[in-house]
Amino acid sequence: MPSDERIEQALSAFESPRVAFRSAIATTIGELDVMLTAGTAGEGEATERTASELGRFASGHIDAQRFAALVAEEPRLDPVAAEAVGRARKVLVEIEAREPEDYCVRVASGEDLPAKVAAVWADFGRVFGTARLVEAARSGHYRLPNHEPLMSSFPFAGWSRAERALAPPLIVDVDGDALQADGLGRFLDGAVKIVLLVRGESPPAPLVRLVSPSVFIAQSAEIDVLDRAREAPGPAITALVNESAARFIHDPTKGSTLSDRLSVDFVPEDDPRVARGPISAFRQAEDLGHLRTLVAMAATGTMAPAVAVGGANGDEPAEPGDRLAAWLLQQADLPTEEAG
């Protein structure tokens, strides 16, 4: 990917969640080393073998005898499962060794933005797929046809809630003509962070359809907004756009109503008259009209408060789909029945 100052700034802004992701991989690699070292050798032989496998780096830092005792507590793997775990370890080592630039993806005009993002998540998802393979091997349930594909690709749709909370941040260098951002909504879950670095002119309000109660959304020309996106407790998507596009921030931490959460710096006065790549002028105008509607609702206070994340008595948080459905119903302004 060509050097770009904004890419470097975005990578720097999201260094801490990227490091957390890599640290989790490194921890998992260490656990696999324990599994693969397990065996039936006697104490002295196990200690000698463990010291050899740990290498010179561990000399003086790790007690090989104690480590060997820990290994002995691991269940033995059958040869087929042990070979699979060894391959899983190689996958993890490859991903853990990636450079910061490998957390970026380039999307040019004519390419499918959501599809390319999905492919990147499926590749990084191999970390979680291998973890499932290893657990199956540990419990004696490893089956090659079921578990081997997890090391090749593990799409975002299959990730658990905990895995989505650990998702690495993704930087997307995207041409304005390819900015079909509404298709990214299915990835806004857990603690997913997506940064769109927009090249050239783009549709005026590509992110507006993604605004929902618990998601940080920002269209901005200022790089500093990335710090706010990184600290958002839930999912966040930010587009650094040309100054001709709308600029707004939806921050769920700012309050319970839309007027609290939505701040708008600029809304273009004129509707687009030409298509932008595959995005028609009509579609662009509809998005811009949707933003104007949200601005008006926030200004007049017609938006009802968002659904609380947790109940007053410590109830479990509502599922994101439930919160979104309730929020959309509150916007609908449906007539209510008169009290009988």
Q: What is the pLDDT, as a whole number, of residue 78? A: 80
Q: What's the rounded Cα separation, in Å, for the pair 12 and 6?
A: 10
Question: Would you say residue 88 lies in a domain?
Answer: no
Distances (CA, A) of 222 to 70, 218, 238: 51, 10, 11
Which of the two residues, 287 and 64, has the higher pLDDT score?
287
> Is residue 59 scored above 90 in pLDDT?
no
Q: What is the pLDDT, as a whole number, of residue 112? A: 96
104 class by beta-carbon count within 10 Å (0-12 exposed, 13-18 middle, 19+ buried)? buried
Q: How far apart are the first and last CA of the chain?
A: 66
Question: Would you say residue 333 lies in a domain?
Answer: no
Question: Would you say residue 239 lies in a domain?
Answer: yes
> Is residue 65 scored above 90 in pLDDT?
no
Residue type, 115: A
Helix H or strand E encompassing 237: strand 236-240
Contact, 198 vs 223, CB < 8 A? no
Please count the structural domains in the chain.
1
5 class by beta-carbon count within 10 Å (0-12 exposed, 13-18 middle, 19+ buried)? exposed
Question: Would you say residue 336 lies in a domain?
Answer: no
One DSSP character per residue, 248-284 reads EEE-GGG-SSHHHHEEEEE--SSPP-S-BTTB-HHHH
Question: Would you say residue 30 lies in a domain?
Answer: no
Beta strand pairing status for 262-266 and 247-250? antiparallel
- Domain span holding position 262: 5-12+100-300
Q: What is the pLDDT, as a whole number, of residue 321? A: 41
Helices and strands (H and E) in the chain: how many:
13, 7
Strand-pairing partners, residue 196, are 172, 239
Q: What percent of the chain has pLDDT over 70?
A: 76
Question: Would you say residue 237 lies in a domain?
Answer: yes
Contact, 272 vs 281, CB < 8 A? yes
Q: What is the pLDDT of residues 229-258, one digit of tens each?
A: 999 999 999 999 999 999 999 999 999 899
Mean of the per-residue pLDDT values of the chain:
82
Rg (CA), the chain: 24
Residue 220's CB: how many other CB atoms inside 10 A?
Answer: 22
304 class by beta-carbon count within 10 Å (0-12 exposed, 13-18 middle, 19+ buried)? middle
Assign 52 a pLDDT band (cuts: 50, 70, 90).
Answer: low
Q: What is the pLDDT of residues 288-336, one digit of tens each?
A: 999 999 999 998 876 544 433 333 333 444 444 444 444 444 444 444 4
As a whole number, mean pLDDT of residues 112-141 equals: 91
Strand-pairing partners, residue 272, are none
> Is residue 169 scored above 90 in pLDDT?
yes
> Is residue 57 scored above 50 in pLDDT?
no
N residues, the chain:
340
Q: What is the pLDDT, as a whole number, of residue 316? A: 42
Contact, 230 vs 247, CB < 8 A? no
Q: What's the rounded Cα separation, in Å, for the pair 314 and 179?
A: 40
Distances (CA, A) of 295 to 189, 208, 299: 25, 11, 6
Question: Would you say residue 142 lies in a domain?
Answer: yes
> Is residue 42 scored above 50 in pLDDT?
no
Q: What's the rounded Cα separation, in Å, for the pair 246 and 198?
A: 13
As a whole number, mean pLDDT of residues 154-181 equals: 95
Question: Would you say residue 48 lies in a domain?
Answer: no
Q: What is the pLDDT, as a whole number, of residue 148? A: 85
As a whole number, mean pLDDT of residues 158-168 equals: 93
Q: What's the rounded Cα separation, in Å, for the pair 31 and 124?
A: 19
Q: What is the pLDDT of residues 70-126, one digit of tens each?
A: 444 556 778 888 888 899 999 999 999 999 999 999 999 999 999 999 999 999 999
Q: What is the pLDDT, as a whole number, of residue 51? A: 52
CB neighbours of 27 closer than 8 A, spacing ≥ 6?
none
